[in-house]
A and B are shown apart, each in its own frame.
Chain A
Amino acid sequence: AQSVTQLDSQVPVFEEAPVELRCNYSSSVSVYLFWYVQYPNQGLQLLLKYLSGSTLVKGINGFEAEFNKSQTSFHLRKPSVHISDTAEYFCAVSPLKGAQKLVFGQGTRLTINP
Protein backbone atom coordinates (compact mmCIF):
# COMPACT_ATOMS: atom_id res chain seq x y z
CA ALA A 1 0.00 0.00 0.00
CA GLN A 2 1.04 3.60 -0.53
CA SER A 3 0.55 6.76 1.47
CA VAL A 4 1.44 10.40 0.80
CA THR A 5 1.98 13.17 3.33
CA GLN A 6 2.05 16.82 2.39
CA LEU A 7 3.63 18.47 5.37
CA ASP A 8 2.01 21.88 5.00
CA SER A 9 -1.73 22.36 4.63
CA GLN A 10 -1.32 26.07 3.82
CA VAL A 11 1.62 28.08 2.51
CA PRO A 12 1.33 31.87 2.22
CA VAL A 13 4.03 33.54 0.11
CA PHE A 14 4.65 37.01 -1.25
CA GLU A 15 4.64 37.52 -4.99
CA GLU A 16 8.05 36.95 -6.66
CA ALA A 17 9.34 35.03 -3.63
CA PRO A 18 10.50 31.41 -3.94
CA VAL A 19 8.34 28.59 -2.65
CA GLU A 20 8.75 24.94 -1.72
CA LEU A 21 5.82 22.58 -1.14
CA ARG A 22 6.87 19.45 0.69
CA CYS A 23 5.78 15.90 -0.06
CA ASN A 24 6.85 12.62 1.52
CA TYR A 25 5.58 9.20 0.55
CA SER A 26 5.61 5.66 1.84
CA SER A 27 5.39 2.57 -0.34
CA SER A 28 6.41 -1.08 -0.22
CA VAL A 29 6.84 -1.05 -4.04
CA SER A 30 8.39 1.32 -6.55
CA VAL A 31 6.15 4.19 -7.55
CA TYR A 32 5.67 6.94 -10.06
CA LEU A 33 5.33 10.43 -8.54
CA PHE A 34 3.19 13.36 -9.62
CA TRP A 35 2.23 16.89 -8.71
CA TYR A 36 -1.18 18.14 -9.74
CA VAL A 37 -2.64 21.66 -9.38
CA GLN A 38 -6.31 22.47 -8.81
CA TYR A 39 -7.50 26.00 -9.48
CA PRO A 40 -10.80 27.05 -7.85
CA ASN A 41 -13.79 25.13 -9.20
CA GLN A 42 -11.69 23.28 -11.73
CA GLY A 43 -10.32 19.79 -12.23
CA LEU A 44 -6.78 18.65 -11.62
CA GLN A 45 -4.05 19.63 -14.04
CA LEU A 46 -0.74 17.78 -14.20
CA LEU A 47 2.20 19.98 -13.22
CA LEU A 48 4.96 17.41 -13.55
CA LYS A 49 5.76 13.74 -13.17
CA TYR A 50 8.66 11.49 -12.26
CA LEU A 51 8.61 8.15 -14.03
CA SER A 52 12.34 7.36 -14.26
CA GLY A 53 15.69 8.92 -15.17
CA SER A 54 16.89 12.30 -13.90
CA THR A 55 15.68 12.98 -10.38
CA LEU A 56 15.12 16.66 -11.15
CA VAL A 57 11.99 17.10 -13.21
CA LYS A 58 10.72 20.29 -14.75
CA GLY A 59 7.05 20.95 -15.26
CA ILE A 60 4.72 23.61 -16.53
CA ASN A 61 4.47 27.17 -15.25
CA GLY A 62 8.09 27.22 -14.05
CA PHE A 63 7.69 24.51 -11.41
CA GLU A 64 10.21 21.77 -10.76
CA ALA A 65 10.51 18.89 -8.31
CA GLU A 66 13.28 16.65 -7.09
CA PHE A 67 12.84 12.96 -6.37
CA ASN A 68 14.88 11.81 -3.38
CA LYS A 69 14.64 8.05 -3.01
CA SER A 70 16.55 7.81 0.25
CA GLN A 71 14.32 10.39 1.92
CA THR A 72 11.20 9.24 0.04
CA SER A 73 10.45 12.83 -0.84
CA PHE A 74 9.28 14.70 -3.91
CA HIS A 75 9.26 18.40 -3.02
CA LEU A 76 7.90 20.97 -5.44
CA ARG A 77 9.69 24.28 -5.99
CA LYS A 78 9.33 27.49 -7.91
CA PRO A 79 11.97 30.24 -7.77
CA SER A 80 9.54 33.15 -8.17
CA VAL A 81 5.78 32.84 -7.74
CA HIS A 82 3.02 34.84 -9.35
CA ILE A 83 -0.45 35.74 -8.13
CA SER A 84 -1.85 33.27 -10.68
CA ASP A 85 -0.11 30.40 -8.85
CA THR A 86 -2.69 30.65 -6.06
CA ALA A 87 -4.28 27.19 -6.03
CA GLU A 88 -4.40 23.81 -4.27
CA TYR A 89 -1.45 21.55 -4.99
CA PHE A 90 -1.59 17.77 -4.69
CA CYS A 91 1.26 15.30 -4.55
CA ALA A 92 0.36 11.77 -5.68
CA VAL A 93 1.94 8.37 -6.28
CA SER A 94 0.94 5.30 -8.24
CA PRO A 95 2.59 1.87 -8.29
CA LEU A 96 4.84 0.94 -11.21
CA LYS A 97 3.12 -2.38 -11.64
CA GLY A 98 -0.51 -3.28 -11.45
CA ALA A 99 -3.55 -1.04 -11.49
CA GLN A 100 -2.62 2.60 -11.89
CA LYS A 101 -4.54 4.10 -9.00
CA LEU A 102 -3.34 7.48 -7.76
CA VAL A 103 -2.92 7.90 -4.02
CA PHE A 104 -3.05 11.57 -3.10
CA GLY A 105 -1.71 13.67 -0.29
CA GLN A 106 -4.00 15.97 1.64
CA GLY A 107 -3.19 18.96 -0.54
CA THR A 108 -1.37 22.24 0.13
CA ARG A 109 -3.16 25.52 -0.33
CA LEU A 110 -0.69 28.00 -1.85
CA THR A 111 -1.72 31.61 -1.41
CA ILE A 112 0.27 34.35 -3.11
CA ASN A 113 0.05 37.79 -1.55
CA PRO A 114 0.89 40.97 -3.45
Chain B
Amino acid sequence: DTAVSQTPKYLVTQMGNDKSIKCEQNLGHDTMYWYKQDSKKFLKIMFSYNNKELIINETVPNRFSPKSPDKAHLNLHINSLELGDSAVYFCASSQADQPQHFGDGTRLSIL
Protein backbone atom coordinates (compact mmCIF):
# COMPACT_ATOMS: atom_id res chain seq x y z
CA ASP B 1 0.00 0.00 0.00
CA THR B 2 2.78 2.42 -1.01
CA ALA B 3 1.51 6.00 -1.02
CA VAL B 4 3.66 7.41 -3.85
CA SER B 5 5.29 4.85 -6.11
CA GLN B 6 7.74 5.43 -8.93
CA THR B 7 8.96 3.08 -11.61
CA PRO B 8 11.59 2.18 -12.42
CA LYS B 9 13.77 2.55 -9.33
CA TYR B 10 16.95 2.47 -11.41
CA LEU B 11 17.40 3.46 -15.04
CA VAL B 12 20.69 3.08 -16.88
CA THR B 13 20.75 4.17 -20.50
CA GLN B 14 22.88 5.63 -23.27
CA MET B 15 23.20 9.26 -24.21
CA GLY B 16 20.69 10.27 -26.87
CA ASN B 17 18.02 7.76 -25.85
CA ASP B 18 14.45 8.63 -24.84
CA LYS B 19 13.10 7.33 -21.53
CA SER B 20 10.06 7.66 -19.27
CA ILE B 21 9.57 7.53 -15.51
CA LYS B 22 6.15 6.79 -14.08
CA CYS B 23 4.59 7.96 -10.84
CA GLU B 24 1.35 6.97 -9.15
CA GLN B 25 -0.16 8.10 -5.86
CA ASN B 26 -3.01 6.42 -3.98
CA LEU B 27 -3.54 9.20 -1.44
CA GLY B 28 -6.31 10.97 -3.34
CA HIS B 29 -4.19 14.12 -3.60
CA ASP B 30 -4.93 16.80 -6.21
CA THR B 31 -1.37 17.97 -6.82
CA MET B 32 1.70 16.09 -8.02
CA TYR B 33 5.29 17.18 -8.51
CA TRP B 34 8.61 16.22 -10.06
CA TYR B 35 11.87 17.16 -8.32
CA LYS B 36 15.45 16.58 -9.45
CA GLN B 37 18.21 15.77 -6.93
CA ASP B 38 21.68 16.30 -8.35
CA SER B 39 24.94 14.61 -7.40
CA LYS B 40 25.46 17.13 -4.57
CA LYS B 41 22.04 16.15 -3.13
CA PHE B 42 20.50 19.50 -4.06
CA LEU B 43 16.75 19.22 -4.70
CA LYS B 44 14.95 21.46 -7.15
CA ILE B 45 11.39 21.43 -8.39
CA MET B 46 10.82 20.80 -12.08
CA PHE B 47 7.04 20.57 -12.60
CA SER B 48 3.76 20.49 -10.75
CA TYR B 49 0.28 19.45 -11.86
CA ASN B 50 -2.99 20.18 -10.12
CA ASN B 51 -5.93 18.08 -11.29
CA LYS B 52 -4.12 17.32 -14.56
CA GLU B 53 -3.32 20.99 -15.18
CA LEU B 54 0.30 22.20 -15.33
CA ILE B 55 0.80 24.86 -12.66
CA ILE B 56 4.57 24.95 -12.17
CA ASN B 57 7.09 24.73 -14.98
CA GLU B 58 10.53 25.76 -13.83
CA THR B 59 13.35 26.50 -16.26
CA VAL B 60 13.68 22.94 -17.47
CA PRO B 61 14.90 22.02 -20.99
CA ASN B 62 12.00 21.22 -23.28
CA ARG B 63 13.47 17.73 -23.70
CA PHE B 64 11.60 17.06 -20.44
CA SER B 65 7.86 16.66 -20.88
CA PRO B 66 5.52 15.78 -18.03
CA LYS B 67 2.17 14.15 -18.66
CA SER B 68 -0.71 13.66 -16.27
CA PRO B 69 -3.36 11.26 -17.63
CA ASP B 70 -5.38 11.61 -14.41
CA LYS B 71 -4.83 13.19 -11.02
CA ALA B 72 -3.32 9.99 -9.58
CA HIS B 73 -0.57 9.73 -12.20
CA LEU B 74 2.24 11.98 -13.33
CA ASN B 75 4.80 10.68 -15.79
CA LEU B 76 8.04 12.26 -16.93
CA HIS B 77 9.34 11.71 -20.46
CA ILE B 78 12.87 12.73 -21.35
CA ASN B 79 14.06 12.99 -24.96
CA SER B 80 17.64 12.89 -26.20
CA LEU B 81 19.18 12.15 -22.82
CA GLU B 82 22.39 13.99 -21.92
CA LEU B 83 25.11 13.24 -19.38
CA GLY B 84 23.87 16.13 -17.22
CA ASP B 85 20.49 14.45 -16.84
CA SER B 86 22.05 11.88 -14.51
CA ALA B 87 20.32 12.44 -11.17
CA VAL B 88 17.68 11.08 -8.84
CA TYR B 89 14.17 12.12 -9.84
CA PHE B 90 11.54 12.28 -7.11
CA CYS B 91 7.81 12.34 -7.53
CA ALA B 92 5.66 13.87 -4.77
CA SER B 93 2.00 14.61 -4.10
CA SER B 94 0.03 16.83 -1.77
CA GLN B 95 -3.45 18.07 -0.95
CA ALA B 96 -4.12 21.81 -0.48
CA ASP B 97 -1.48 23.29 1.84
CA GLN B 98 -0.58 20.00 3.50
CA PRO B 99 2.99 18.62 3.32
CA GLN B 100 4.16 16.80 0.24
CA HIS B 101 4.64 13.03 0.29
CA PHE B 102 7.60 11.74 -1.70
CA GLY B 103 8.27 8.56 -3.61
CA ASP B 104 11.53 6.62 -3.22
CA GLY B 105 13.08 8.17 -6.31
CA THR B 106 14.33 6.98 -9.70
CA ARG B 107 18.10 6.95 -10.09
CA LEU B 108 18.88 7.81 -13.72
CA SER B 109 22.40 7.10 -14.97
CA ILE B 110 23.48 8.15 -18.43
CA LEU B 111 26.42 6.28 -19.98
Cα–Cα distance between A100 and B48 once the two chains are bound (Å):
9
Q: Does A45 contact B (CB under 8 A)?
A: yes
Q: Does B55 contact A (CB under 8 A)?
A: yes
Q: Mark B27-39, 1 if CB is under 8 A from A, else 0.
A: 0000101010000
Contact of A104 among B4, B43, B104 (CB under 8 A): B43
Asked if B97 and A32 sit within 8 Å, CB to CB, the answer is yes
Q: Does A7 contact B (CB under 8 A)?
A: no
Tell me if B's interface is mostly helix, strand, loop or mixed: strand
Q: Mark A12-47, 1 if CB is under 8 A from B, else 0.
A: 000000000000000000001010101000111110
**Complex interface: chain B residues within 8 A of A102 (CB):** 33, 35, 43, 45, 92, 100
Query: In A42-88, which residues have CB < 8 Å from any B CB?
Result: 42-46, 49, 51, 88
A99, A101, A104: residue with the most chain B Cβ atoms closer than 10 Å? A101
Q: Does B66 contact A (CB under 8 A)?
A: no
The bracket for how many chain B residues form the interface is 20 to 34
Query: In A89-103, which residues have CB < 8 Å from any B CB?
Result: 90, 96, 99-103
Asked if A107 and B41 sit within 8 Å, CB to CB, the answer is yes
Besides A32-B97, A96-B97, 7 new A-B residue pairs in contact (Cβ under 8 A), listed by A number? A38-B41, A43-B104, A45-B102, A51-B97, A100-B48, A100-B100, A104-B42
Query: CB within 8 Å of A: which residues of B?
Result: 4, 31, 33, 35, 40-45, 48, 50, 55-56, 58, 90, 92, 94, 97, 99-105
